Amino acid sequence: MNYWMVKQEPDAYAWDQFVRDKGTVWTGVRNFQARNNLRAMKKGDEVFYYHSVTGKSVVGTARVTREAYRDPSAEDGDWACVDLVPRQACRTPVTLEQIKAEPSLRGIALLRQSRLSVMPLSPAEADTLRRLGGLG
């Protein structure tokens, strides 16, 4: 299994709406590196859901249920999307401040490439985020 983080502004598509929808097609990614990360996702991979701009915290986890396919929201270009379903809300959201303060997360892509909307996580980073968020 691989581990990922996706970022979304809660004003655009909040975790609570994702849960109410019981899943979504993760469309609209228009960055080549993020697109390549979407293409690398496999069915069953764990995805951490991060509220960006306001909130700035990991708020839950999701699973990939359909691997990359052509993004139907793209009018042109070679863009991809995946299908995600919510898995578990964090008991305690993991704030950006906590992430910055955690030595084991020093190399996390969120801190190195803060504008990237889809990024890989190492198994150790995923374990740390699960622990900090009170996820079982």
Alpha helices in the chain (DSSP H): 10-13, 15-21, 32-40, 96-101, 109-112, 123-133
* pTM exceeding 0.85: yes
Confidence of residue 11 (pLDDT cuts 50, 70, 90): very high
**What pLDDT does residue 56 have?**
97
Give the separation between CA 122 and CA 2, rounded to whole angstroms.
Answer: 8
Asked whether residue 136 carries a pLDDT value surpassing 90, the answer given is: no
Average pLDDT in the chain: 97
CATH topology of domain 3-127: ph1033 like fold (3.10.590)
> What does the pLDDT look like over 42-101, one tens digit per residue?
999 999 999 999 999 999 999 999 999 999 999 999 999 999 999 999 999 999 999 999
Distances (CA, A) of 11 to 15, 17, 126: 10, 10, 25
